[in-house]
Structure 1
């Protein structure tokens, strides 16, 4: 009974911390946080389901005399993850862009990550990021959207694995806090199971588009580790957010490009 309560509390903490979805209150203790990372990918599942539902509705709406509101639905789809998460990962992406663009020492970069002010590079990166997303989502098909719906869970599974496997850049902070309180062996096992299932399910659903999605996620994950170790000496909460945002954009880009190439007949 105590284990069930701990799991339930971990679920509530994961959704309270990484989403804006209302949850019952739970005490912020190490015991209650022990399995929180196991539920982090579930937020991605919510985003994926909602995104896919909105996409199918937009197709139905356009096909039933609702008018051409493609751009509206594209922008709405892009903003769904921001609405669900409250922008917590986007904040990490912007902070990391400022830190990387500073070309300072590791110590100074870590200080920049904690700076609450947005620099010029963060603003430029944010603009480019959303413009790229508009371009990618403007080319969505049913098959590519089916794959992208899974990608939100895949990105969070990999991000969660980095929390419990990569070295920490700081002894204190969100990632260090979750890493220390996590039941590491169980969390790694659960996230590993998620990863295996997703790496099987995504290609099964999307064919070559799904394969491209999984491979691109692996490439970005490798880049993330190298970048974090080289520039910061480990991972932080901001870097996890940076990885998640970059990974999702790259996966979407690869899926859409592969889908277009397949439709053109170059790859069958």
Structure 2
């Protein structure tokens, strides 16, 4: 029952899906990050459903791409994009570590957040507009949101936090983290194997690993550890990187063949 409550808490926090009310308790909160990949699994299914609907209605590539870009924002409520924008502002400030952490907590939107968000969505749209997506590629892309969330949860449980308060700290402050770490690491490995066997999914796996290593190094250097906003930044960059890597790998394969 505790795990079902953790799942409900994860969907309530990280998606806009209506969920039954549950009491938020420490023992359930400790397992929210393990349920986080399930939120990504539903997003992947929604993307597959959108692709099938686009095929049925014979939509143009532009409309398909627009749906693929807007669907994650509508499903998550923009919570991860909000973290991405805050991180763009903080990184572009070139201030000291303490000031960057203050910028992350600032609810106001700066110029660099707007530029980062627009650039991100434009590039994502352009990548989705690329023709010739195979079924194997789409299945790999549907698994990417699961992998990105599993990697995000694993990082949160294994890396130091930048501050003692905040959303991420609330989910990682419990002491019984070893079992959760093993579970998420195993899930990451399993998903990486599955994605790597689908189409050019191996390129997506390579991109996800590179983005994760960059994320950990950047978070430690610039902020002294992880925060919820940085976790949102990682999710957005990881999923964009996987999409870009698959497009690039497919183009290279066509040239070589």
The reply to whether TM is greater than 0.5 is yes
Q: Which runs of 5+ in 1 are unaligned?
A: 63-67
Q: 1:207-254: CA deviations, max 9, x gaps?
A: xx1111111100000000010000000000000000000000010000
Q: Which residue of 1 aligns with 2:83?
A: 92
Distance 1:204 1:182 in 2: 36
1:182 Cα deviation from its structure 2 partner: 6.7
Q: Which residue of 2 aligns with 1:36?
A: 32
Distance 2:80 2:149 in 1: 11
1:8 corresponds, among 4, 7, 14, to 4
CA contact (8 A) 1:144 1:259 kept: no
Q: Which residue of 2 aligns with 1:65?
A: none
Q: Which residue of 1 aligns with 2:155?
A: 162
1:118 aligns with 2:109: yes
2:189 corresponds, among 193, 196, 212, to 196
Cα RMSD between the aligned structures? 1.3
Distance 1:139 1:11 in 2: 35
1:260 Cα deviation from its structure 2 partner: 2.2
CA contact (8 A) 2:83 2:229 kept: yes
Q: Which residue of 2 aligns with 1:127?
A: 118
1:247 aligns with 2:238: yes
CA contact (8 A) 1:35 1:183 kept: no
Distance 2:249 2:115 in 1: 28
1:265 Cα deviation from its structure 2 partner: 4.0
1:69 Cα deviation from its structure 2 partner: 3.0
Distance 1:42 1:247 in 2: 17
Q: Which runs of 5+ in 2 are unaligned?
A: none
Q: 1:91-138: CA deviations, max 9, x gaps?
A: 000000000000000000000000000000000111100100111000
Q: 1:39-63: CA deviations, max 9, x gaps?
A: 101111111111012112212321x
Distance 2:183 2:10 in 1: 15
1:55 aligns with 2:51: yes
Task: Give the TM-score of the pair, scaled to structure 2.
Answer: 0.96
CA contact (8 A) 1:96 1:239 kept: yes
**Count of paired positions:** 255
CA contact (8 A) 2:43 2:142 kept: yes
Q: Which residue of 1 aligns with 2:172?
A: 179
Aligned-partner SS, 1:181: coil
